[in-house]
Copies of this chain bind each other. A is one copy, B any other.
Amino acid sequence: MRFSIAHLGPTGTHTETATLAYTQWLKETQGQDSLLCPYPSIAQTLQAVAKQEADFAVVPVENSTEGSVTITLDTLWELETLQIQKALVLPITHSLLSRGTKLEEIKTVYSHPQALAQCQKALQKFLPQVQLIPTSSTVEALRDLNQDPENKTVGAIASSRASQLYNLPILIPSLNDYPDNCTRFWVVGLDAATNGKYISLGFTTPANQPGALVRPLSVFAQREINLTRIESRPTKRSLGEYLFFIDIEGNATQTDVHAALEDLPQYTEVLKIFGNYDVLTVD
Q: Which residues of A contact B (CB under 8 A)?
A: 43, 62-67, 70-71, 89, 113, 117, 120, 132-136, 177-178, 180, 182, 184, 208-215, 217-218, 220-234, 236-240, 242
Given A113-B113, A210-B226, A227-B213, answer yes or no on A236-B62 (Cβ-Cβ < 8 Å). no
Q: Which residues of B contact A233 (CB under 8 A)?
A: 67
Q: Assembly of this chain: how many copies?
A: 2
Q: Which of A113, A208, A231 has the most CB of B within 10 A?
A: A231
Report yes or no: B232 in contact with A221, Cβ–Cβ below 8 A.
no
Choose one: B66, B89, B134, B230; the contact of A113 (CB below 8 Å): B134
| Residue pair B180, A237 in contact (C-beta under 8 Å) | yes
Contact of A214 among B71, B210, B221 (CB under 8 A): B221
Q: Which listed residue (B70, B71, B134, B225) contacts A210, Cβ 8 A?
A: B225
Question: Chain B residues near A231 (CB, 8 Å)?
Answer: 232
Return chain B residues, CB-CB under 8 Å to A212: 227
Do B234 and A65 have beta carbons less than 8 Å apart?
yes
CB pair B62 A238 closer than 8 Å: no
Q: A117-B71, A237-B178 are in contact. Are A230 and B213 (CB under 8 A)?
A: yes
Contact B229 A242 (CB under 8 A): yes
CA distance A43 to B228 in the complex (A): 29
How far apart are the CA atoms of A35 and B113 in the complex, in Å? 31
Establish whether residues A182 and B230, one from each chain, have CB atoms under 8 Å apart when the complex forms: no
Q: In the bound complex, how far is the Cα of B210 from the Cα of A65, in angstroms?
A: 24
